[in-house]
Amino acid sequence: MEEILDNKNWFESWFDTPYYHLLYKNRNFKEAGFFIDNLINYLAPPKDAFLLDACCGKGRHALFMNQLGFAVDAFDLSANNIKHAKQYENDKLHFFENDIRQPLNQHKYNIVFNLFTSFGYFDSEEDNFQAIKALSGSLKKDGVLVIDFLNTQKAIDNMVSKEEKKVDDLTFKIKRKVKDGFIVKQISFEDKGRKFRFEEKVKALYQKDFTNYFNLAGLKLIKVAGDYQLNDFDIHTSDRLILFAKK
């Protein structure tokens, strides 16, 4: 029997499964810490700054920020992710279940981070704008929003249409394509006699698209970087599109 989950809100189902975390279990924690160090060094927030990690997953970036001494709130849509992350809570680190389209309404923050391509999941442009508006609304005056997105141009130019990835006892069959303005990844596998198929779908957004969102939300783009060392962005060679926007 094949189980195909409703892809209308694919992120609600896929991110909440253990298979998502299995497929991506080799994410580089050292690289994540390196990135946070570089962001904090560049932004130079005061020691009493309050930070927000929006769409925090299991909380690895928020944990690094907190270990640097900052007060950090973090949220994610996945109940399982937040349940996992709450084990790390302390008096300066708190995790919440929340939709990015809604302000967290806990505090106003000096810096809001949205990292590791956790944007562009919605079919509706209005939803994307609502997300930016909610993030902007969470910032203090002169606060900064940091969005770490994929470099859409390079991702499309170098797309591998088919591959298989073996992780532990499972073999994930992955197909990629561009369809209707989205970069789509279809993931299928079999586990204990059951067949599964999931989909990841991220809108093919470019710098100009984010600039439009920022303008509408009362934000000004102040820097664009292309990697976790924060080198300048190049549309053809950079792996990431990292945007800094000030309120």
Q: What is the mean pLDDT of residues 15-21?
A: 75
Please state the pTM of the whole predicted model: 0.92
CA angle 217, 146, 132 (to 5 degrees): 30
69-76 long-range contacts (CB < 8 A, ≥24 apart) are: 70/40, 70/45, 73/104, 73/106, 73/107, 73/109, 75/104, 76/15
Percent of the chain residues topping a pLDDT of 70: 94
In contact, 247 and 232? CB cutoff 8 Å:
no
Q: What is the mean pLDDT of residues 74-102?
A: 96
Determine the pLDDT at residue 28: 64
Determine the pLDDT at residue 10: 66
Percent of the chain residues topping a pLDDT of 90: 81
Residues paired with 177 in a beta bridge = 184
Block residue for tokens 């599964």: 196
Q: Is the pLDDT of residue 3 over 90?
A: no
Task: Say which residues have a Cβ less than 8 Å from residue 201's Cβ, sequence separation at least 6.
Answer: 7, 10, 121, 182, 183, 184, 185
Read off the pLDDT of residues 150-196 as tens digits, 9 standing for 90 and up: 999 999 999 999 999 998 889 999 999 999 999 999 999 999 888 99
Determine the pLDDT at residue 1: 42
Q: What is the mean pLDDT of the chain?
A: 92
In contact, 128 and 122? CB cutoff 8 Å:
yes
Read off the pLDDT of residues 22-77 as tens digits, 9 standing for 90 and up: 887 766 678 889 999 999 999 999 999 999 999 999 999 999 999 999 999 999 99
**Rounded distance, CA 135 to CA 84, Å?**
24
Q: Is the pLDDT of residue 223 over 70?
A: yes
